[in-house]
Amino acid sequence: MTGTDIQADFDPLSGKIIKTIRIAMQIGLLLAVLGTILEAFVAPQQRFLLMGMTLACLTVSIVSGILLARFRKAETREKSRMLQQQLEAQEQIEELFGLTDTLQSADGNEDAAQVLAASGRRLLPGCGGALYVFNNSRDRLDLVNEWDMPDGYSPVASLTPSNCWALKRGKDHLNEVHEDCLQCSHYVGEVASIEVPMIARGKVYGLLILADRGGDGANVDRARRVARALADSTSLALSNISLREQLRTQTLRDPMTGLYNRRYMEDALERFIATARRKDQSTAALMIDLDNFKKLNDEHGHAKGDAVLKEVAAQLVAAVRPSDIVCRYGGEELLVLLPDCNLQEAAERAEQMRSRVASLSQTMDCPVSASFGVSAMPECSHSASELLSSADAALYVAKDAGKDQVRIAPKAVTTERTPKLVASS
């Protein structure tokens, strides 16, 4: 900001006052000088009157000079204050630009929260912060990160949108400590806080909470403008992260069942086998096929068949470990990969899954069952293709044996090579 800009922004009334005082001082000096000159030309009895007038004009000039100096000093202070505000605003703008630029490199919500915390500490040192982001089902917001929170405020691990006035109104909301003020249901702190919804493209992605480290609410009240700017910049990043996650999910998962697709399964199987060979462990595969699924579609409709397939997928996911992989292999055929699991353990797990699938007959009001083929490496195969082929062959054995049962692939035949004796000449 230049001096001309500051002068233009300064109060016009102050400028008029300074101009009037300057004129009065000049007139006083002029009259004082004029009175001094006229003393030589007036009668002695009138000199005292003229000297008094000269002294009065000189006093007016001195007082005007003092007032002018004070007004100029006040004007300088005001200009310095305005310049300082302008510099602070410029620094905030540069920080926000840097925040937006850095957020473009954030791979996930945790990265975005770290960037937001770093900028929040610089822009709002008097406030602690917390970032909440909607979960996939959008029925609650989970705490991603918190920073510099005062002792009187403890952010909850998750909150529901119905308990937050900022989310219900779509505007920032100030939770004051006074009981007669409107407070969110999840607010349990002893210090004032402001909550700002993070909205991008007409959709709410998260919530920014700033708590006053001073406790009296002055910091969060002054922070409203900057808090909105922080929320706006971060909400765009959260929107992009959510979009990338959706695209990634679409490329890795089956859209109907939510299970991993065949492409992901093939990559995961190669990793499992490489790890198993390095650590001398087993890797098992369960090939699953729903019994009489075509008949179910013909008698009850494809909508019912889709519902059954979703429920079966849910039962399988609920029965596996976090390290296991459940995928849709094709049609009504499913596949479960079990790392660090031998053949006997895999057979027991398959029987448990078969029972869970069979129990769906009561809830789905139609016959539901599945046949399982179990194979493991290195017990039944020596490569990824052999593992899947042997599990598939075991599945067909289960189908031919009457369905709704588990069959285990035969163990692989290991041929030991005997060294040939070479006759010495």
Three-state secondary-structure class, residue 140: coil
What CATH number does residue 168 fall under? 3.30.450.40
Distance, in Å, from the CA atom of 295 to the CA atom of 96, rounded to the nearest integer, reads: 61
- Indicate the pairing of strand 333-339 with strand 325-330: antiparallel
Q: Which domain holds residue 336?
A: 262-408
Distance, in Å, from the CA atom of 362 to the CA atom of 196, rounded to the nearest integer, reads: 47
Is residue 324 in a domain?
yes
Is residue 22 in a domain?
yes
> Which of 147-151, 249-253, 337-341 holds the top average pLDDT?
337-341
pLDDT for position 60: 67
Q: What percent of the chain clears pLDDT 90, i.e. is strictly above it?
A: 36
Question: Which of 147-156, 175-184, 218-227, 411-420 has the lowest average pLDDT?
Answer: 411-420
Distance, in Å, from the CA atom of 79 to the CA atom of 76, rounded to the nearest integer, reads: 5
Q: What percent of the chain clears pLDDT 70, i.e. is strictly above it?
A: 79
Indicate if 143 and 204 belong to the same structural domain: yes
**Partners of 346 in the beta sheet?**
none
Is residue 44 in a domain?
yes
Indicate if 332 and 229 belong to the same structural domain: no
Is residue 37 in a domain?
yes
Indicate if 175 and 239 belong to the same structural domain: yes
Q: 284-306 in b/e burial notation, b at 16+ Cβ within 10 A? A: bbbbbbbbbbeebbeebeeeebe
- Tell me, what DSSP letter sits at residue 162? G
Q: In the predicted model, what is the mean pLDDT of the chain?
A: 82
pLDDT for position 417: 45
* Mean pLDDT, range 219-224, rounded to an integer: 76
Indicate if 91 and 175 belong to the same structural domain: no
- Strands, sheet with 141-147, edge to edge from the N-terminal-most edge strand: 158-159, 141-147, 127-134, 203-212, 193-200, 173-175
Residue 173 φ/ψ, nearest 5 degrees? -135, 135
The string of pLDDT tens digits covering residues 22-31 is 666 566 666 6
- Tell me, what DSSP letter sits at residue 261? -
Is residue 393 in a domain?
yes
Indicate if 319 and 295 belong to the same structural domain: yes
Say which residue, 82 or 6, is predicted with more confidence. Answer: 82
For residue 391, pLDDT over 60 is answered with yes
Three-state secondary-structure class, residue 325: strand
- Indicate the pairing of strand 406-408 with strand 370-377: parallel
Indicate if 269 and 215 belong to the same structural domain: no
Element containing residue 270 per DSSP (H, E):
helix 262-279
pLDDT for position 217: 63
Residue 417 φ/ψ, nearest 5 degrees? -85, 130
Indicate if 44 and 135 belong to the same structural domain: no
Q: What is the CB neighbour count within 10 angstroms for residue 196?
A: 24
Is residue 186 in a domain?
yes
Residue 12 sits at the vertex; the CA angle it makes with 9 and 15, to the nearest 5 degrees, is 110
Indicate if 383 and 266 belong to the same structural domain: yes
pLDDT band at 32 (very low <50, low <70, confident <90, very high): low
Among candidate residues 210, 230, 250, the one where a domain is terminated: 250
Is residue 210 in a domain?
yes
* Mean pLDDT, range 384-400, rounded to an integer: 94
For residue 36, pLDDT over 50 is answered with yes
pLDDT for position 7: 46
Number of domains in the chain: 3
Indicate if 192 and 285 belong to the same structural domain: no
pLDDT band at 317 (very low <50, low <70, confident <90, very high): very high
For residue 388, pLDDT over 90 is answered with yes
The string of pLDDT tens digits covering residues 334-363 is 999 999 999 999 999 999 999 999 999 988
Residue 323 φ/ψ, nearest 5 degrees? -80, -15
pLDDT band at 253 (very low <50, low <70, confident <90, very high): confident
Is residue 29 in a domain?
yes
Among candidate residues 250, 273, 291, the one where a domain is terminated: 250
Say which residue, 219 or 89, is predicted with more confidence. Answer: 219
- The answer to whether 136 and 172 are in contact (CB under 8 A) is no
Indicate if 308 and 399 belong to the same structural domain: yes
Distance, in Å, from the CA atom of 350 to the CA atom of 125, rounded to the nearest integer, reads: 57
The string of pLDDT tens digits covering residues 90-136 is 776 777 777 778 888 888 889 988 888 888 888 888 888 899 999 87
Say which residue, 392 or 12, is predicted with more confidence. Answer: 392
Among candidate residues 43, 75, 100, the one where a domain is terminated: 100
Indicate if 121 and 228 belong to the same structural domain: yes
Three-state secondary-structure class, residue 159: strand
**Helical spans, DSSP H, in 170-217:** none
What CATH number does residue 274 fall under? 3.30.70.270
Distance, in Å, from the CA atom of 35 to the CA atom of 52, rounded to the nearest integer, reads: 9
Say which residue, 219 or 215, is predicted with more confidence. Answer: 219
The string of pLDDT tens digits covering residues 186-196 is 777 678 888 89
Indicate if 267 and 402 belong to the same structural domain: yes
Amino acid found at 138: R
pLDDT for position 8: 45
